[in-house]
Structure 1
Amino acid sequence: MQESLSLDIIGLRVSRETSERLSLFAELFRKWSRAINLVATSTKDDLWARHIADSAQVFALSPEPKQWVDLGSGGGFPGVITAILLAETGAGWVHLVESNHKKASFLRIALSETGARGSVHACRIEEAHSEIQHCDAISARALAALDTLLDFAEPWAERNPDLRYFFHKGRDYQSEVDKAHGRWSFDLLQHQSAIEADSVILEIAHLMRKV
């Protein structure tokens, strides 16, 4: 099956129940994407590898149940995928932040119908920290430059010095890292994407703004 092959690429094995949840999400995604723009049109036909398996890499890097904040969740990547994978553990939670109300409606339906462990906050990212007091990890995919993402994350970093960040980035990631180092101090691990040859997932820890 396409879904099994896609997850095998990243070395992630899931139960039949989780596979069914992911398949249900894919059906919902295709249905809703006919009406609203959830991802770039050119990538819709490669849903399993380009979006679902790519998103699942975040969970594979940090599978322990935790409190996640997913910024700019859009079509559910990686937030809904993480929330579905957490359902198998019976612990952890994903707070999905999405200001577009149509997309937020889709995300609520996707979480509800798949039994995923998550909730939606239909607000601007700059306001989300007042609704979500604590988190252990932050994710974002195709949202903004790294420097801007760190600005978004700073309120949670001030509350939790052990906070970790997982950001999908494309081929120009090094220039974003160099720019971010001008304003921020942080530890960095670069994980090569198993899906996109030129892409990485940046894992960041110990974020501090430079004086």
Structure 2
Amino acid sequence: MIELTESRNDPMASLPAATIERLRIYEELLCKWQRKINLVSESSLSDIWARHFLDSYQLLNFAGIWTQWVDLGSGGGFPGLVIGIASDSPNHMVHLIEADKRKAAFLREVSRETGARIEIHVGRIERVLPELCRKTKFDVVSARALAPLEDLARLAAPALTTGALGMFLKGKDFASELTNSPTLSNFDHTLVGRQSDPTARIILLRWRDLATAHV
């Protein structure tokens, strides 16, 4: 296990003006839809850029070369929708999986208004991800505030076992999740500091042996 500390410099400062504008559109729509459905905590609305946008965007620092990304339980779009908005390459595609139809409608509106390279799949992860993995080889699978690490490893297994890098944003109790995850023996993992919270971490998981390991 390796632990890294992310730079405290703001990596979003150098984003193109067009990307910043798309994120502003996202921010406006998030505040509008928040009045109808619960997308983020109310206390975080005054700090959307740091708490949500930067927290999501920082994953690009560790993703390496990728073309296909899948985000599990996307909810309000973090981190997957931010990645899709920030990734301008025509070779990039981000898939968002969300079971809640109202949240999926929100994701569609943001995607439409920002022109993000996003595909939205409505349904439970257990059903949708295996189907997607039969057609697409993913380079990255991500999730934020979705489930304990042991459950994430199980949910993400169709992507992880075919070579995807797992990128999971966890809170201050990350250490206990690592301890309570017997499946972790099948992975090489790295801890990366989260810019939104010095006590939290991003857990990077890489399937150790594609030929012999099983979740």
TM-score, scaled relative to structure 1: 0.88
Report SS of the residue matched to 1:138.
strand
Partner of 1:98: 98
Q: Which of 137, 142, 145 is matched with 2:145 structurally? A: 142
1:5 match: none
Question: Displaced runs of 4+ in structure 1, greater than 4 A?
Answer: 207-211
Instruction: State how many pairs are aligned.
Output: 201
> Which of 147, 155, 158 is equivalent to 2:158?
155
Alignment partners' CA distance in 2, 1:148 and 1:10: 32
Query: By how many angstroms is 1:114 displaced?
Result: 0.4
CA displacement at 1:189 relative to structure 2:
1.1
2:57 aligned partner: 56
Is 1:191 equivalent to 2:192 in the alignment? yes
CA deviation map 1:126-149 (0-9, x unaligned): 011243123111000000000000
Give the Å deviation of 1:14: 1.1
Secondary structure of 1:144's counterpart equals: coil
Q: Does 1:36 align with 2:37?
A: yes
Amino acid at match of 1:128: V
Question: Identical aligned pairs, as a percentage?
Answer: 38
**Structure 2 residue identity aligned to 1:168:** L
- Partners of 1:16 and 1:65 in 2: how far apart? 23
Q: Does 1:174 align with 2:185?
A: no
Deviation at 1:207, TM superposition (A): 4.9
Which aligned pairs between 1:10-89 and structure 2 lie closer than 5 A? 10-12=10-12, 13-62=14-63, 64-86=65-87, 88-89=88-89
Higher alpha-carbon deviation: 8-17 or 162-171:
8-17
1:21 deviates by 0.8
State the SS of the aligned residue for 2:196.
Answer: coil
Q: 1:48 to 1:123 in 2, by over 3 A?
A: same
Give 3-state SS (helix, strand or coil) of 1:50's partner: helix
> In the TM superposition, what is the alpha-carbon distance from 1:61 to its structure 2 partner?
2.1
* Cα distance in 1 between the residues matched to 2:152 and 2:168: 9
Q: Structure 2: state its 5+ residue gaps.
A: 1-7
State the 1:76 CA deviation.
0.5
* Cα pair 1:10 1:57 within 8 Å, conserved: no
Q: How do 1:118-133 residues align onto structure 2 when only pairs under 5 Å count?
A: 118-133=118-133
Q: Could you give the per-residue CA deviations for residues 31-85 of structure 1, whole angstroms, max 9, x where no partner exists?
A: 1111110012222221111011111111232253421110000000001000001
**In 1, Cα distance between the equivalents of 2:214 and 2:108?**
38
Residue in 2 that maps onto 1:4? none
Deviation at 1:185, TM superposition (A): 1.4
Shift of 1:183: 5.9
Whether the aligned pair in 1 keeps the contact of 2:141 and 2:159 (CA below 8 Å) is: no
Q: CA RMSD in A?
A: 1.8
Amino acid aligned to 2:40: V
In 2 relative to 1, CA 207–120 (structure 1 residues): closer, same or farther, beyond 3 Å?
Answer: farther
| More moved, 141-150 vs 187-196 | 187-196
Q: Which runs of 5+ in 1 are unaligned?
A: 1-7
